[in-house]
Every structure is written in C-alpha cells, then in structure tokens.
C-alpha cells in the first residue's frame, strides 16, 4: 500500500492534535494522504472552508506526502476523483466504531474498490474531539494542549464573537 493514495476526510473544525496524529500515522502507510474537508451545508462550523484549508496547510506543511483539499458530495466520488484506494478514519472509542462501521459498509457498497482503514490515535489523543475543543474554548478553558499552536488563539477569538 505504500505506493497508494488514501483520503482522510473530515470537517476539521478545528483541526486537533489527534487529527495530526492520524495524518502522521497514515503517511507511514501510504505514498500520499489527501486530507479532504467535506463541505456539508447542514453542519454549522466555526471556521469557513477556506480558513480550515489554511489551517491544515499550515499544520501539515512539515508532513511529507500530504495534500489538502475540499470536496462536496459523496465521499466515494472524492475517492474516485483522487484515485484513492483507501479512506482513513480515526477511531477514538467504541462509540465511534458503530457509526464508522456503518459508513464503511455503505462506502464499500458505493465504491467496492476502496477500503476503509481505521487508525487508533496515540493514547494521549484518544479523548480529543473538535466538538469538545470548541466547548472548552467557549468557556475560556485552556485548549493549547489539544490543538496546534497556530490555531489555538484564532479559535479562542472566534468563539468569543
């Protein structure tokens, strides 16, 4: 698989140290990891797609083999467009597995040639989620251990507005 391309989709609002950990792990398995921001109109976000692209470009600039993009529509269409052979998903807990398992089976039905690869984060990131990080920031808590330094101040400022 090291000669292959994988797509790591997500909202990344904000990108967390857990996301970065999964990206680093994935680049050890694949020639290229495309980090794809899924543009879902139903989901409210703190940062615009353009801001999230910029954040990912900043924090992934020192990780060889990564490419940042955004996509609309079905994940399986983005997989085909980018000629990916796998979708990378991070699993933090058993509660993540049920949803991710259903999605993986549906994606397999829509694109049988694409596998889903589940990666466990390092233990120190296993409890981090963008939702929790946003909530901590809203209440004035210290988010610096959980997100890249380049994003922490911007997130705090944004949630104060």
Structure token digits, residue 118? 């589940």
What is the spatial distance between Cα 157 and Cα 135, in angstroms, rounded to a whole number? 13
134 carries an active-site annotation: no
54 is catalytic: no
Contact of 57 with 29, CB cutoff 8 Å:
no
92 catalytic residue (yes or no): yes
CA distance 160 to 141: 12
Of the residues 24, 25, 54, 92, only one is catalytic, namely 92
Question: Out of 32, 52, 55, 130, which one is annotated catalytic?
Answer: 130
Give exposure, 8-40, as e/b (b: 16+ Cβ within 10 Å): bbbbbbbbbbbbbbbbbbbbeebebbbbbbbee
Task: Tell me which of 19, 32, 55, 89 is the catalytic residue.
Answer: 19
Does the active-site annotation cover 160?
no
- Residues classed as catalytic: 19, 43, 92, 130
């Amino acid at each position: 698989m090291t000669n292959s391309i994988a797509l790591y989709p997500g909202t990344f609002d904000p990108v967390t140290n857990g996301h970065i950990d999964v990206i680093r792990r994935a680049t050890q398995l694949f020639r290229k990891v495309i980090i794809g921001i899924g543009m879902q109109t139903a989901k409210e976000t703190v940062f615009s797609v353009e801001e999230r692209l910029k954040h990912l470009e900043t924090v992934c600039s020192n990780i060889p083999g990564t490419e940042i993009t955004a996509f609309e529509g079905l994940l399986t269409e983005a997989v085909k467009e980018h000629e990916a052979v796998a979708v990378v998903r991070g699993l933090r807990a058993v509660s993540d597995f049920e949803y991710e398992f259903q999605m993986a089976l549906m994606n397999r039905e829509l694109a049988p040639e694409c596998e889903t690869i589940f990666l466990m984060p390092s233990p120190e990131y296993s409890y981090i989620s963008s939702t929790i990080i946003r909530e901590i920031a809203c209440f004035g808590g210290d988010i610096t251990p959980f997100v890249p330094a380049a994003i922490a101040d911007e997130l705090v400022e944004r949630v104060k507005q």
